[in-house]
Amino acid sequence: MSRSGYTLPVWVAAAAVAALLPLRGQSAAAEVNLQLQPDDPAAPLQPVPVEAAARLSSERALGMARCDPGDGLDLTRGLPVWVEASWCEAPVAELWLQLEAGEGVGVHAGTAQLCLSAFARQLLECNLRPLVPQGQGLRLRITLPGGQPLAQRTSNAAFGVVDGLALIGTQAAVQRSADPDQLGRARAELARRALDPALARDLVLVIGENGLDLAPNLGLPQPLLLKSGNWIGPLVVAAAEQGVERLLLFGYQGKLIKLAGGIFHTHHHLADGRLEVLTTQAALLGLPLEQLQQLARAGSVDEALRGLAALDAAAAAVLQEQVAAAVEQRSLSYLARHGQSGLRIGAVLFDRQRQICGRGPVGAELWEVFRARHLG
């Protein structure tokens, strides 16, 4: 069993608390006690180590932590995290916490706003709120030295995040997409949900942290979400075995398109073939040879579709719907090969701009049903 560490938002929260303590006139500590489950205030606090903290003036203090993601490969290992805390005015009570992106922290290209998941903000708020006097505002400037070159090794830029690493973790503990332990945890979670009548029938398998962050923002109910990572095939089968009746696959088109080619473990070290699958689907639609050649020679799925859209926007839109439909069809075939039937599978894909770009026939139906359930 591999040792699991903490995601980047946890180390940011630890450095923030470490900075706030001397700002309040308290002694710096070698570790801080954090609430790592913002939605469960009764959960016990967990000690998280920090490297240093110091008061810079009566209004400013600096806290430092260093990422430890546990065993396995992770590009944040050893990454220093600096958080400068300072008092500020709170224009309204709800805006008591103000966040600024320093060097190495990812921001949205269109707005220059810090890229922060809902979980990351909740983690900061639940751990800092008890330490900030009522009526007082707190400003945090987050810096990740070395974060910008590390971000170039991620897909951040593909989703419109520039200048550094995004703080998009959706939970405290690291879960690796290709780690067999994650498959075991997901299967155990499916078994737990099977005992709950409210959750047993419906499931949204989400591929990747970006999808897990995006899904609730688009109205998919949080209780239905389960991160699959790269273990899509085994989890689809496990869902059928546990009695799930309606399953929605939600993920980035450059990842989910592999399922349309019959690739059900999607880690790039095992198999790719994305452009080949895209070109095949385009050929099935009857696109002309010149367009097929342009698709096949593109650098990525998104690049290929943007190029096609520039020539024929309608054809690009139809192709994306075709890919989503093929994902649904191949998923059903995969289930049948493993002796399972009776599960309705839909697929909804999003692009690098985090916009919905393709829905299969079943996916379009489940998308509306599940979102209506959330609104209801």
pLDDT digits (tens, 9 = 90+) for 8-65: 999 999 999 999 999 999 998 899 999 999 988 888 999 999 999 999 998 999 999 9
Question: 364: Cβ–Cβ under 8 A, 6 or more apart, which residues?
Answer: 346, 348
- Quick one: tokens of 57? 């003036």
Statement: residue 268 has pLDDT above 70: no
For residue range 242-259, what is the model confidence (pLDDT) as tens digits? 999 999 999 989 889 999
Question: In 3-state terms, what secondary structure has residue 180?
Answer: helix
Mean pLDDT, rounded, for 103-116: 90
For residues 39 and 32, give the distance between their C-alpha atoms in angstroms, rounded to a whole number.
19
Amino acid in the structure at residue 319 = L
Residue 376 is predicted with a pLDDT of 54
- Residue 345, pLDDT > 50, answer yes
22 by DSSP, 3-state: which?
helix
Distance CA 139, CA 130 (A): 15
- Could you give the CA distance from residue 349 to residue 328 in angstroms, rounded to a whole number? 11
pLDDT at 269: 47
H/E segment holding residue 281: helix 274-284
Residues 324 and 131 sit within 8 Å (Cβ to Cβ) = no
Residue 140 is predicted with a pLDDT of 97
pLDDT of residue 200: 81
CA distances from 311 to 97, 274, 294, 305 (A): 47, 21, 11, 10
Mean pLDDT of 323-348: 92
Q: Which residues pair with 207 in a beta bridge?
A: 251
Specify the fold of 8-165: CbiD-like (3.30.2110)
With left for phi above 0 and alpha for psi between -120 and 50, is residue 271 left, alpha or beta? Answer: beta
pLDDT band at 184, cuts 50/70/90?
Answer: confident
> What's the pLDDT at 375?
60
Is the pLDDT reported for residue 191 higher than 90?
Answer: no
pLDDT in tens, 199-219: 889 999 998 777 888 899 899
* pLDDT tens by residue, 112-170: 889 998 889 999 999 999 999 988 999 999 999 999 998 887 767 766 788 899 898 77
Q: 178 pLDDT band (50/70/90 cuts)?
A: very low
How large a percentage of the chain has pLDDT more than 90? 56
Largest CA distance in the chain: 71
Asked if the model's pLDDT at residue 271 lies above 70, the reply is: no
Q: How far apart are the first and last CA of the chain?
A: 41
DSSP three-state, residue 11: helix
Residue 288 has pLDDT above 60, yes or no: yes
Domain map of the chain by residue range? 8-165, 180-375
Distance of CA 329 to the CA centre of its chain: 26
User: Mean pLDDT throughout 356-367?
Assistant: 96
pLDDT > 70: what percent of the chain? 93
Least confident of 230-234, 237-241, 270-274, 334-338: 270-274
* pLDDT score recorded for residue 72: 59
Query: With bands split at pLDDT 50, 70 and 90, how would you rate the model's confidence at 299?
Result: confident
What per-residue confidence (pLDDT) applies to 323? 96
With 0.75 as the threshold, say if the pTM is over it.
Answer: no
pLDDT of residue 158: 63
Helices first, then strands: H and E counts in the chain = 12, 16
Residues 6+ apart with CB under 8 A from 376: none
Mean pLDDT (the chain) is 88
Which of 48-52, 205-209, 228-232, 268-272 is the least confident region? 268-272
